[in-house]
Structure 1
Amino acid sequence: MYYLASALPARVPLRALLSLWLLLLAATPARATHIVGGELDLQHQTGSTYTLTLTLYFDAINGNAAALDQALTAGIFDKATNRQLQSVVLPLTSNTFVSYTNPACAVGSLSTRKLVYTKDITLDAATYASASGYYAAVERCCRNLAISNIVNPGGAAQTFYLEFPAVVRNGASFIDSTPRIFPALGDYACIGNLFYYDFGGVDPDGDSLAYDMVTPLNGHATAAFPIPAPAAAPYSLVTWSAGLGTTNQIPGSPALGIDAHTGRLTVRPNRLGLFVFGVRCAEYRKGVKIGETRRDFQLYVLNCPTNNPPVVSVRANGRAYRPGRDTVRFVPGGSRCLTLRYTDPDPNSTLTLTAAPLNFSDPATAPSFTTTTSGTVHASGQPDTLTATLCFPMCADTKGKVYLLNVLVADNGCSLPKRDTVRVAFIAAPPVSTTPVLTTSFPPEVPGQPTPTVVRLALNQPYTATLLGTDSAPNPLTLTATGVGFSLASVGMNFSAQNGTGRATATFTWAPDCGLVTASDSGLVVRFALAQGGTICTPHTLTRAIRFVVPRPGDSLAFSPPNIITPNGDGLNEAFTLDQALPPDFCASQFAGVSIFSRWGRLVYQSPTRSFTWAGGGVGGIYYYLVTFTDGRRFKGWVEVMP
């Protein structure tokens, strides 16, 4: 991939270069020149348990198989005193291969193994409470003999290194995990071409990350003592070749650098060879640095076949779009699509289109392709130029602002695709939205009152209401009626609608009778709705809630029975009766009976007849009565008998 010697003429074919390198290896004594790079990682699990992991990248082609260790030892040290607190044996737990970004670009004789060494450790609060923090380190020799940017690479070691904070601060638990996962670099770079790679990490605690280039650590290991016992800092640095250094680890224009915020590596190399480089990722919490992790890796720069970049052009509203000069305007009723033409001067190039918003994220504005976005050009039976259509939603609305969209085309060149980008500036306005109007024959709504409008109906008397929906735009309108907690048909209600474009009418009818109405005072609520449809961006729905109540006759009258009778034969107030004072019988609410009791609770009179009369039984005093109805209603009172 990226770790062969490169001190050969620039135009030596890659196959010949590999063959020559293998011959050189055969003439070289076996040594542990195998380290491609790697990093340490510390993750919190639970309580005071953490997992310490070493990831080591191993040259699977040129490395000495005897140097593939089954375990490595890490030391943990106090930063303030360099005192060693733990020695941790990390067993090998995983052995896999690193993949290329584009497998089609793979060079079969180049291969890297990813070796993972890991073990759970304990960081107790009593020991790891120093405000200065701590560091862990693993040392191993040696690096690839073929590295071209450091002195004596075959005798240079690597110190895998990370820093972490105390596990307790101000008496409270302080949990931190180092940032992860840095993607492994599985590609090579082509001389003279821009190389880029996402080398960023993800922090499980949400801490801020900052990246910079650093000189790789060498440490105490040597070719004679490749695996020393854990030793404290300071760790010596590798020695750069003449003219190279921390800011110029891989020479080029630009030289290798990393974005401080994203971790994106960028270089346009101007020298062939295998180059080691170092990156540091520092983590910050609330503006304070709490730790760091370092990674060393290698990048192989070689001569690649010439790969010309693809080209994409844009047409809008029937004319060629001029980037930086034009602004596309999408208006109601007009076209909302861009026509894209993309090609590549190289034969058999496979191209792929993408679109990336720059200053907006609203999905209602994001465009989508309506045609295929990939294809091959300049191949047998294939066109020289491909076309695609990119359309914006009808309801896209930039609210008068200029939005920017990158239209990108990428080829399938090695080691990384080349691209062309057209930045499209556009303004989009949605169709004009109208609000429909709902008119009904129901009583008018009370402004500011959220409760349903009440309509009182008489038993067995038909009731009819009309509804009319209109829209100044020719949008489809639909009128509906829905019972709240019941179906209209179950109580004999009928709703008939004639829906249409710009106008909808409906009729509601109901003739309540005892078979369809309960004796509930709360009534039945029906929700009437006018819904606006069609291809509109913000459809409206207007509603009216009507509570239909069938009151009992006489419910509005007060219950005022007589409370004195004088059964003395003068023809006045001779008997106690309630027929005129009680509410009339209504559907399921029928008179069930009356009971009269003495003041001591003895039943003295009882009748199931509504028109009962009671003359007092010849004994004066206070008596109490109870009247019941079949729906459970009860009326109580007293009456005094004065003979």
Structure 2
Amino acid sequence: MALTTTLLRTTTGAPAGRRWLLWVLLWLGTTPAWATHIVGGELDLQYLQGDTYQLSMNLYFDAINGNPGALDNSFTAGIFDKATNRLITSVTLDLVNNTFVSYTSPACAVGSLSTRQLVYRNRAPLLLPAATYGSAQGYYVAIERCCRNNAISNIVNPGAAAQAFYLEFPAVVRGGQPFRDSTPRIFPPLADYACVGELFYYDFAGQDADGDSLAYDMVTPLNGHTTSAQPTLLNLTNNVPLPGPYQPITWNAGLSASNQIPGAPTLTIGARTGRLTVRPTRVGLFVFGVRCQEYRRGVKIGETRRDFQLQVLVCPRNNAPSVTALPGTSGSVTYLPGRDTLRLVPGGSRCLRLRFTDPDASSQLTLSLRSVNYTGTLPTFSSTISGLVHSPGQPDTLVATLCFPDCVDTQGKVNFLEVIVADNGCALPKRDTVRIALLAIPNPNALPTLTTTAGTPLPLRVRLGQTLGFDLLATDPDGDPITYALSGTNGFAPAALGATLTAQAQAGTQRAARFNWPISCAAVTDPPGQVRELVFTATTVTPCGVRQAAPPITIPVIVDYSNAPPALTSTFPADSAGGPPLVRVALGQAYTASLTGTDGDKDVLVLSATGQDFNLADVGMRFTAPAGAPGQASGTFTWLPTCDGVSVTNGQARELVVTFQLQESTCRPQPRTRTVRFAVAQPVAKEFLPPNIITPNGDDKNQFFTLADLPPDFCDARFAGVKIFSRWGRQVYESGDRSFRWAGDGVGGTYYYLITYTTGRRYKGWVEVMP
């Protein structure tokens, strides 16, 4: 969190910024123009998608004294296996951006320091497939370039010292699964300078797209293989980058990785914060190296190295400002950090007065806030600032008021907030900080209450068709807006079953609501009679945005429901041991049966009849069931069988299965069924005993051959005809009339007959003719 307001002082004399710039220009006139080139830089590898990555290099170049001809349009990077130093591939990086690095405070700019940031990126898509990049120890990327600035003060022979840009990354597969990683994008570029004898600080922390943990430390910059004669050295045999290890630069006597810039203290970096700190004790241009290591779940997976330079100058003296705090809006008692605690209580002052000053004339002072563990809304500075104006060189005292919002609540714990006053001195502002410890209690706010007219005893019992209804009343003594909510327990969702809770407009401190629940079949539990719980809540939001809830009201409800199965009777024959009864009806004869349904619960009953794989009307069946009174039903079944509606195979009619159902209209119906088999009665055939002798002699006895006891016709099984043959096979008679009469052929002897039916059935026999 940060809140800043700028406070301008008025005084006489020349502006300090202008006098400072004039001094710098005069100082620069006596300073030699060193031949400079590489200021520093780092590599960056970002995951895009699939197997595709982006490799970038940031190179920082001295824009004042660097030779423009030394600017490279491209670089060749090598990717190596860390375990073997084997070159995996070469990657061409092209220059894509060339911009100036801005000062933190442009007003403090000096003519001897100007840096360009050159950004290089891979020319072709960079693919890192798992089949190639699966080594457990990971990989490294390196680019080499010579040379560094001649003016560097802390290394041996700086004009011949090179730089190796270096980055490590993990395998892209781990445990058989893809392992995606983007290296940390670290270090905002450093364009500022430091002043000898003054504390210098700079935020060098980076960001990691994967949320990995980052750890920083100081390391010796890498020199590598390149030289001034071969500034971009490649393997001359096959023109590829050279592998590591890369030699480090050589420190001047007394300096090392842990003491890179002479200082008290020397240059350090926060292991977790990435914040650089140094109080240099010597003027000069100093190179330094920083390493950022990347950890995931406690395991190191990569690192990025960065070289950079810091210029230390002699700067005009800049005195630090000071700030004191006074609780309340009046009085002279000074707040003492570390001993006093600011208490913000209901009815008390919620403000803090600030007095701040600077002994330097024409200083521009800035007030800001920084949270230590303060989580509330930041307070605001007053817009009116009063103070006295003194002669140049004399301090004036300015006053501001800091007021905390009414809703700040530290939950009974001490919170810390820092008030910082900073000037506009160069190279970095001087600051003074007062840490405020505070305990804040917001204005009290009463909880809402909730009542209902649901009544007792509990659980409430309702029946199907009723509507459960009652009122609720929520009260908030502070008049905060009230919101109702209706829910259920154990997965019960009242609104899904038609329950509604309708709230009225709030009237002052109260808001009423009406609950209604029409009980339908959806409300019946399975099994019936289980308890369901209605939960009613009323919540408010205080002016400070705090949600407060009344104790919820839980109302158990039982939906009473019972159902006895209906009874179905009929005039059909009773079932047999083998199953449904079989009713046979002769062709052309009508069959009638009645069915009756009754229900003790007085549910509406419906009777129906369904044929198994046939339509009733298609076979001459009919079922009628007029509407009856509640709990009663009746129906009539009739069947007039005809050959048109009956399927006959080989003289046998198929069975027709009809299911009669009695259905009740209720939440948990228990239907009753009756199944009856029907078949057309076959005609009864007499014993077929055809005569085997006739005497056509005119005595009126056995004069004709006739077959009165032939199997009867039955639908499609009909008599087709008779043929009589002599013993030599000659047909002597034929008739299609089943009542035929044959008097013989006038010649005695044995004759043979053949009788056929439409179904293909045949009867054969013989008859003796005796004239």
TM-score w.r.t. length of structure 1: 0.72
CA deviation string 1:349-400 (max 9, x = no partner): 443333333245xx4xx142234589898889x994141323155361433x
Match of 2:252 in 1: 241
Higher relative contact order (CA 8 A, sep 6+): 1
| 1:276 paired residue number | 287
| Distance in 1 of aligned mates of 2:605 and 2:21 | 113
Q: Is the 8 A contact 1:355 1:408 kept in 2?
A: yes
DSSP 3-state at the match of 2:258: helix
Letter in 2 for 1:241: N
Aligned length: 579
Partner of 1:354: 368
Deviation of residue 155 (structure 1)? Answer: 2.7
State how 1:135-534 maps to structure 2 within 5 Å. 135-167=140-172, 175-229=180-234, 230-317=241-328, 319-359=333-373, 363=375, 366-371=376-381, 384-394=397-407, 396-399=409-412, 401-431=413-443, 434-444=446-456, 446=458, 453=460, 469=474, 475=479, 484=495, 499-501=507-509, 504=510, 522=523, 530-532=538-540
Residues 369, 431 of structure 1: alpha-carbon distance in 2 compared, 3 angstrom cutoff: closer
Amino acid at match of 2:433: T
| Helix, strand or coil at the partner of 1:247 | coil
Give the deviation of 1:423 after TM superposition: 1.5
Q: 1:184 to 1:563 in 2, by over 3 A?
A: same
1:570 aligns to what? none
Q: 1:617 and 1:153 mapped to 2: Cα distance?
A: 116
Which residue number corresponds to residue 118 of structure 1? 121
Aligned to 1:40: 43
Tell me if structure 2 keeps the 8 A contact 1:479–1:497.
no
* Structure 1 residues 269 and 443, CA gap change in structure 2 (3 angstroms): same
Q: Report the alpha carbon displacement of residue 325 of structure 1 after superposing the two structures with TM.
A: 0.6
- 1:145 alignment partner, SS class: coil
TM superposition shift of 1:152:
3.0
Q: Report if aligned partners of 1:279, 1:295 keep a CA contact under 8 Å in 2.
A: yes
- Provide the secondary structure at the position in 2 that maps to 1:160: strand
Contact kept? 2:607, 2:660, Cα under 8 Å = no
Cα drift, residue 71 of structure 1: 2.0
Q: How far apart are 1:59 and its partner, in Å?
A: 0.7
SS at match of 2:548: coil
| Matched residue, 1:539 | 548
- Partner SS, residue 26 of structure 2: helix
Q: Which residue of 1 aligns with 2:491?
A: none
Deviations 1:109-131 (A, max 9, x none): 63211112222545555665555
More divergent stretch after superposition (339-348 vs 371-380): 371-380
Letter in 2 for 1:391: F
Q: Look up the equivalent residue of 2:113 and give its one-letter code.
A: L
Matched-pair contact (CA < 8 Å) for 2:380–2:402: yes
Q: CA deviation at 1:343?
A: 3.8
Give the C-alpha shift of residue 324 in structure 1: 0.7
Instruction: Give the conservation status (yes or no) of the 8 Å contact 2:480–2:542.
Output: yes
Distance in 1, Cα, partners of 2:183 & 2:212? 9
* In 1, Cα distance between equivalents of 2:58 and 2:132: 26
Between structure 1 and structure 2, the one with the greater Rg is 2
Q: Structure 1: which amino acid aligns with 2:425?
A: G
Q: Which amino acid aligns with 1:390?
A: C
For 2:314 and 2:67, how far apart are their aligned partners in 1? 27
CA distance in 1, matches of 2:569, 2:278: 106
Q: Is the 8 A contact 1:344 1:377 kept in 2?
A: no
Asked whether the equivalents of residues 471 and 512 of structure 2 are also in contact (C-alpha less than 8 Å), the reply is yes
Give the secondary-structure state (helix, strand or coil) at the position aligned to 1:307. Answer: coil
Q: Is the 8 A contact 2:43 2:165 kept in 1?
A: yes
Q: Which amino acid aligns with 1:63?
A: G
> Counterpart of 1:499 in structure 2: which amino acid?
A
Worse-superposed segment, 78-87 or 175-184: 78-87
User: SS in structure 2 opposite 1:539?
Assistant: strand
- Distance in 2, matches of 1:48 and 1:497, equals 60
Give unmatched runs, 5+ long, in structure 1. Answer: 1-9, 566-574, 585-590, 639-643
| Alignment partner, residue 569 of structure 1 | none
Identity across aligned pairs (percent)? 49
Q: Give the letter for the 1:35 counterpart.
A: I
Alignment partners' CA distance in 1, 2:160 and 2:81 = 29
Match of 2:29 among 16, 19, 29: 19
Partner amino acid, structure 2, of 1:344: D
Q: After the TM superposition, which of the residue ranges 167-176 and 245-254 deviates more from structure 2?
A: 167-176
CA drift at 1:271: 1.7
2:437 match: secondary structure: strand
Q: 1:144 to 1:444 in 2, by over 3 A?
A: farther
CA contact (8 A) 2:448 2:548 kept: no
Q: Which residue of structure 1 aligns with residue 3 of structure 2?
A: none
Contact 1:628 1:634 in 2 (8 A): yes
Match of 1:568 in 2: none
User: Would the aligned equivalents of 1:340 and 1:390 in 2 still touch at CA under 8 Å?
Assistant: no
Q: Please report how far the alpha carbon of residue 37 of structure 1 lies from its aligned counterpart in structure 2 after TM superposition.
A: 1.0
Alignment of 1:43-122 (within 5 A): 43-46=46-49, 48-107=51-110, 110-119=113-122, 120-122=125-127
Q: Which amino acid aligns with 1:340?
A: L
Name the CA distance, whole Å, in 2 between partners of 1:445 and 1:353: 66
Give the aligned residue type for 1:13: W
Q: The residue matched to 1:320 in structure 2 has which SS? A: coil
Q: Deviations over 1:526-574 (max 9, x none)?
A: 99765556547442246658899999xxx97968779699xxxxxxxxx
Match of 2:647 in 1: none
Could you tell me how far apart the structure 2 residues matched to 1:80 and 1:237 are? Answer: 20
Q: 1:60 to 1:592 in 2, by over 3 A?
A: same
Structure 1 position 265, deviation (Å) = 0.7
What SS does structure 2 have at the residue aligned with 1:14?
helix
Structure-2-length-normalised TM-score: 0.61
Instruction: Work out the CA distance in 2 between the residues paired with 1:79 and 1:593.
Output: 85
Q: Deviations over 1:314-338 (max 9, x none)?
A: 2335653210111223334444443
Measured at CA, do residues 506 and 579 of structure 1 come closer, stay the same or move farther in structure 2, by a change above 3 Å? farther
What residue identity is the alignment partner of 1:388?
T
Identify if the C-alpha distance between structure 1 residues 495 and 583 changes in structure 2 by more than 3 Å, giving closer, same or farther: farther
Structure 2 Cα separation of the partners of residues 521 and 130 of structure 1: 63
Give 2:320's aligned amino acid: P
Query: Does the residue aligned with 1:261 lie in a helix, a strand or coil?
Result: coil
Amino acid at match of 1:414: C
Structure 1 residues 259 and 634: CA distance shift in structure 2, 3 A: closer
1:215 deviation in Å?
A: 2.5
1:5 equivalent in structure 2 = none
Deviates more, 1:415-424 or 1:603-612: 603-612
1:221 and 1:290 mapped to 2: Cα distance? 28
Unaligned runs of 5+ in 2: 1-19, 235-240, 487-493, 525-532, 572-593, 639-658, 675-771
* Partner residue in 1 for 2:655: none
